[in-house]
Structure 1
Amino acid sequence: MLPIKKILFATDFSECANYAFKYSVILAEKYNAELVMFHAIVMFRDDPNNPDYRFPDMTDCYKTIEKASHKEFDRLCSDWKKLKTKNVVVRGFSPAEEILQYAEAKNMDLIVMGTHGRSAITRFFLGSTAEKVVRFSLCPVVTLREEPKEFIKTRRYGRILFPTDYSEYAQKALKWPVELAKDYHTELDVLHVIEQNIPPQYYSAEISSIFDLDRKLKKRAMKALARFLEGVDRKEVDVRRFIREGKSDVEIVKFAEKRSIDLIVMSSHGMSGIERILMGSTTERVLRRALCPLLTIKG
């Protein structure tokens, strides 16, 4: 069984965060883990639209919000009396930074949080809290944007998806989907997406697939996928291999929806600088589009 003993549930008390709460409770029960309920209060002393104006004494504001936060935590946990929980409310300038600092300081095994998308231009300049946590967290992170009704109802994963690019990061992350598949006695789909554009000159010949251009490519890709999975005991885990072509994030999300995947597990080896700003990573793009929960493992 995966060694999950401390789960950090980060919330802003939104509807999306409430989905994440139910999810984190089920995981905490499964692994007999402590559930830390975490909320970061972020307020500014100065009005950014009028620097000469300062807000009233913030101490009272903080105390009021802290009290309301603890009350909301108690309400959420009212139906889960046997669960080991801890309420944490902190003050800071950035929710993502507070979540990351606390998770590292307390050696959390897993972070669970909701995500709700920003517009493209806002995300370009600010990013989302979930994306920042996924990008920099040292421990695995589960993000949700929709309510995982089937998981909440059955308390198990019916099918798990692990997309791979055969990298060392993916190899290190493979342990998580394999162990989850064992823990939940479920199927594990392993997917590799070939990103290769067809040169325009081939369109007139009605060649629209890279597999038509290289008929042995799919066979070679399947062999590479088999080598990647050599260390997995097929007697313990029902592993199924798939090859697709196209843009990785698009094909991963499409595959997950078509196969009714309950959880996508991906490795993260973030880009830096202008490349990430302009393009983002495949993991971050899947995070923004996937309807099912996404578990990200730091490579």
Structure 2
Amino acid sequence: MNASSASNSPGNGTTATAVAARFPPRRILLPLDLSAHSFQALPHAEALARLTGATLALLHVAEPIAYPTDLGYAPVISGEVEAGLHQSTRQRLDELVATFKARGLKAEASLRVGRPFMEIAEAARTLAADLVVVTTHGFTGLKHVLLGSTAERVVRHAPCPVLVVRRDAGREAPAVPATSTPGGAVPALRIQRVLMPVDFSGPSREALTYARQLAEHFHSELILVHVTELPFVDPNLAEIDTQTFEENARQSAQEQLDKAVTALRAAGVAVAGRVLKGVPWNEVVEFARREPVDLIVVGTHGYTGLKHILLGSTAERILRHAPCPVLVVRHGPA
């Protein structure tokens, strides 16, 4: 098993370089803190690795342990961590690798020391991972503000697409989910209908290419949804014909959506298109709740730091509220 310490990780105010997204993946990175929470993403990662032939790369990130000194707190160096406190973690990772190899999968494991989201992003680069699979706690509101989300930070910094599996608070995952057997039984993975929000931007087009590849691989139905936002009208301005404005926006969106649907059908993809009206992230989530959707694929601009705070992210709002897994395809910097 490989082990490394924190180095050259992306900072909070930087924009990490994204690599070209491709499906199917050749290496899937699965961060695990060895809790039942993190194991809930494991069946998805294992099933994808089995169905695509990808290598399953397990990763555990140990946060540095600080000890008191005369000047405050100092971190325990990674060598001491490796030699002592995390010996059992390395053994557990090795056991998991052996288990997955016995199931017929290609598997490997590594341990890194540092801040989890930074080390996950750096490991994705070092290992040339094509996909990261993580679990999110699904908190919203004040609890989300106070606790934050490692999954969302991974989405912002990872150089490849990230599949975020929402935690099922009412279910405890076993240490190694029995989703397959050494005989080669395929883990259950239902990806029959894929929802893809489109706004015809660069990130959206890049994510659509990935969604098409995924739909072709799994023979899934692809549902494209465009949401036209209600215009803001200053009450102090002269009366504006908002109805005409909305209708023109809807027609323009419908025309662009029809072109995308026609092109995909010509390529043999089962696809449908819908134009909705409202707040984009909310309409996407509500559509996923109404329809039997197995996966949402969404593009994101990949901003971090101040630019992220100012602009926010529709993708992250979808992550927090979606009733199904969300696959985020990050758009690289121009």
TM-score interval, smaller chain: 0.7 to 0.9
Stretches of structure 2 that go unaligned for 5 or more consecutive residues are: 1-21, 174-178, 180-186, 236-241
The correspondence for 1:109, drawn from 117, 126, 130, is 130
- Aligned partner of 2:211 among 173, 177, 187: 177
With over 3 angstroms needed to count, the CA separation of the structure-2 counterparts of 1:156 and 1:274, relative to structure 1, is same
1:146 and 2:167 equivalent? Answer: yes
CA–CA distance in 1 between the matches of 2:75 and 2:158?
33
Partner residue of 2:111? 89
CA positional deviation for 1:69 = 4.6
| Matched residue, 2:45 | 24
| Structure with the largest fraction of helix | 1
1:29-73 alpha-carbon deviations (Å, 9 max, x no partner):
00111100101000232359x964668898665533242353256
Call closer, same or farther: CA 1:109–1:271 in 2, change over 3 Å: closer
Q: Structure 1 unaligned runs (5+)?
A: 202-209
8 Å contact kept, 1:16–1:145: no
Q: Which amino acid aligns with 1:26?
A: A
Distance 1:39 1:55, change over 3 A: closer
Instruction: Give the total of aligned pairs.
Output: 287
2:12 alignment partner in structure 1 = none
- 2:285–2:321 CA contact under 8 A, matched in 1: yes
Structure 1, residues 56-113: CA drift from partner, whole Å, max 9, x if none? 898665533242353256258636531111011111x311111111111221111111
Code of the aligned partner of 1:254: E
* RMSD (Å), alpha carbons: 3.3
> Does structure 2 retain, via aligned residues, the 8 Å contact 1:9–1:35?
yes
- Given that residues 171 and 228 in structure 1 are in contact (C-alpha distance below 8 angstroms), is that contact kept between their aligned partners in structure 2? no
Equivalent residue for 1:253, pick from 273, 278, 285: 285
Alignment of 1:1-299 (within 5 A): 2-46=23-67, 52=72, 62=82, 63-71=84-92, 74-75=95-96, 78=99, 81-91=103-113, 93-117=114-138, 120=141, 124=145, 127-146=148-167, 154-197=188-231, 199=233, 214-215=246-247, 217-234=249-266, 236-274=268-306, 276-277=308-309, 280-299=312-331
Query: For the residues of structure 2 that align with 1:134 and 1:57, how far apart are their CA atoms?
Result: 28
1:148-199, CA deviations, whole angstroms, 9 ceiling, x for partnerless residues?
Answer: 99xx774231210000111122112211111111111121100001111475
Query: SS of the counterpart of 2:323?
Result: coil
* Alpha-carbon distance between aligned partners in 2 of 1:177 and 1:106, rounded to the nearest angstrom: 23
Q: Distance in 2 between matches of 1:167 and 1:20?
A: 30
Between the aligned partners of 1:121 and 1:279, the Cα distance in structure 2 is: 20
Pair 198,101 (structure 1): closer, same or farther in 2 beyond 3 Å:
closer
If the length of structure 2 is used for normalisation, what is the TM-score? Answer: 0.74
Letter in 1 for 2:133: V
Q: Displacement of 1:132 after TM fit?
A: 1.3
Residue 244 of structure 1 aligns with an amino acid whose one-letter code is L
The TM-score normalised by the length of structure 1 is 0.82
Identity of aligned residues (%): 29
